[in-house]
Chain A
Amino acid sequence: MNRNYDVIVVGGGPAGLAAALEANKNGAERVLIIERDKELGGILNQCIHNGFGLHYFKEQLTGPEYAQRFIDMLEGTGIEVKTDTMVLSVTPDKKVWAMNTEDGYCCFNAGAVVLAMGCRERTRGAISIPGERPSGVFTAGTAQRYINIEGYMVGKKVLILGSGDIGLIMARRMTLEGAKVLAVCELMPYSNGLKRNIAQCLDDYGIPLYLSHTVTDIKGKNRLESVTVSRVDENLAPIPGTEIEFDCDTLLLSVGLIPENELSRNAGVPIDRRTNGAVVWQDRQTEIDGIFACGNVLHVHDLVDFVTKESMIAGRAAAEYVKNGGFPETTAENTVSLAAGNGVSYVVPQKIAVERTEKFVEAFFRVRTTYKDSEIVVRADGEELNVIKKSQLLPAEMERVVLPKAMLQKAAGKEITIEVRTKGDN
């Protein structure tokens, strides 16, 4: 068995699929996708609701349909796939150690590696919730998998903590399957979900949304019996005397996602503590030559279409890296570093090699809180390079600014910051 590949992609979700296809298109001959699940598609397989692909395919698709389109594109490309195979480590010299029941523990050599492991659900919220430890407490994504893939209903009277899209989608899903969803509670004074999901998942079914509320007690001997919810003050501390008790048998936690970067960390890839993903250049190369990262493992995306776009960048760059036997070293004078300024929680990519920029670089970022009638200011060393008016900014929605090559050349060797300016800031 030939274990040498041009490009090895770790993870067969939408990020891995797009990266592999694009690497193949750009001349990488031997491409391998390694996926630990029994099938390709990643988290999309359990996201059976529609709303995917509007940007990329200009159609409303469900998660499995979106995945299927990319899986179908693999046909005839010669891209190899190993499912049911767990990658255990990736080394800086691009050896990929993996294990499955057929090959056992084995090592593959790659010219370039694309990390596309996605993310997992945060459960820390669960641990810090006081109270008893009965069954009936699930992360929303786990419940989604049980219901949509394995066909088990997880409960009848449900409370949901967290109003991100997964929480909202699950509120509707549980309702359609006959459960009573009592409420969705959100710690923040705003929802982190898309407005259309509040409309079509909560409002359509009369499910109340309690903003600035959190779970303060859980009761139940074996199965969950009740959950206490309290209002929180502006410091997010529960206010005594505001408790509401819900009799329910199920609590779903939708309290955020964390990029799954154990492999990246062990490979020595520097991680940005703001994104919890790798620090990357504009072509999604990490700080380790020939190791790329894209999709939810790099930063949490709300729309799969953007995952696909980003992963195509990484796949193309991986192919080029192999074709050219590496990228030339980028000097500090030729580097622009991107930083999150006032009101911005993170920016991706973090670094730009000016000479490797074709026409422009798209910078993606999120704001820290909600803003109305504000401006996005792009600045290098105090000088304003661009100002964009925004009627509304929400932490739940990834924002984007285009940095043209001419601007980057001017800022070469400096730091560009992206910040939010509100009326009062002038």
Chain B
Amino acid sequence: MKREITCIVCPKGCLVTIDDANLEDVSGFGCPKGIEYAKNELLHPVRTVTSTVKIEGALHDRLPVRTNGDIPKELIFECMKLIRATKVSAPVRCGQVIIEDILGTGIDLIATRNA
């Protein structure tokens, strides 16, 4: 069956059409990343998670964080649980690892600002 997938890789948001019975049958992409994204969406969709953790001793009470790569979509809420239970203390550098290898994905949760 033909499936229509909005590519989220860049702000352009191409509408990629892909056949779920034949993943090589792809159209509508603006660049090769769109092909890869559409295939992934059918096989194992992944997302980057961005959120905040509690921080002590900084200007604000929250430190923004993100996964430094994509994690399986079905792990997003599990990941949020861990994020919500995390508390750090200043100083923190942008890029510093906050949670290593989150949920065994091989992806780390990192700080996205200095605090």
Binding site for B on A (CB under 8 A): 38-39, 45, 48-51, 54, 60-62, 64-65, 67-68, 147-151, 176-177, 194-196, 198-200, 203-204, 302-303, 397
B42 within 8 Å of A (CB atoms): no
Q: A34–B48 Cα gap in the complex (Å)?
A: 34
User: Which residue of chain A is the closest to B60 with respect to CB atoms?
Assistant: A149
Chain B residues whose C-beta falls within 8 Å of the C-beta of A151 in the assembled complex: 52, 54, 60-62
Give complex CA distance A302, B52 in Å: 23
Whether the Cβ atoms of A65 and B94 lie closer than 8 Å is: yes
- Residues of the A chain whose Cβ atoms lie less than 8 Å from the Cβ of B7: 196
Residues B48 and A50 in contact, CB atoms below 8 Å apart? yes
CB of B103 within 8 A of chain A?
no
Q: Chain B 39-80 against A: per-residue CB contact (8 Å), 1 yes, 0 no?
A: 000000001111110100001111010100000010011001
A198 near B6 with CB under 8 A, answer yes
Asked if A48 and B52 sit within 8 Å, CB to CB, the answer is yes
Sample 20 A-B pairs with CB under 8 A, ordered by A number.
Answer: A48-B52, A50-B50, A51-B11, A54-B11, A62-B64, A64-B64, A64-B112, A65-B113, A147-B52, A148-B62, A149-B60, A150-B62, A151-B60, A151-B61, A177-B51, A196-B6, A199-B5, A200-B47, A203-B6, A303-B11
Task: Give me 4 other A-B pairs in contact (C-beta within 8 A), A48-B50, A147-B52, A151-B54 excluded.
Answer: A60-B48, A148-B52, A199-B5, A199-B8
Q: Which of B10, B15, B51, B64 has the most CB of A within 10 A?
A: B64
How far, in Å, is B30 (CB) from chain A's closest CB?
Answer: 11
With A and B bound together, what is the CA distance between A149 and B64 in angstroms? 8
The answer to whether A196 touches B62, judged by C-beta atoms less than 8 angstroms apart, is: no
The size class of the interface chain B forms with chain A is: 20 to 34
Instruction: Give the A-B contact count at a CB cut-off of 8 A.
Output: 80
A199 lies within 8 A of B59 (CB): no
Is B96 an interface residue when CB atoms closer than 8 A count as contact? Answer: no
Query: Considering residues A38, A68, A303, which has the most beta carbons from chain B within 10 angstroms of its beta carbon?
Result: A68
User: B114 on the interface (CB 8 Å rule)?
Assistant: yes
CB-based contact B11/A194 at 8 Å: yes
Residues of A contacting B60 in the complex (Cβ-Cβ under 8 angstroms): 149-151
**Neighbouring B residues of A303 by C-beta, 8 Å:** 11
Q: A149-B60, A196-B13 are in contact. Are A68 and B94 (CB under 8 A)?
A: yes
For A62, A67, A303, the residue with the greatest tally of chain B CB atoms inside 10 Å of its CB is A62
CB within 8 Å for A195 and B64 given contacts A151-B54, A204-B73: no
Q: Is B6 touching A62 in the complex (CB atoms < 8 A)?
A: no
What is the distance, in angstroms, from B92's C-beta to the closest C-beta of chain A?
12
Which of A48, A149, A303 has the most chain B CB within a 10 Å cutoff? A48
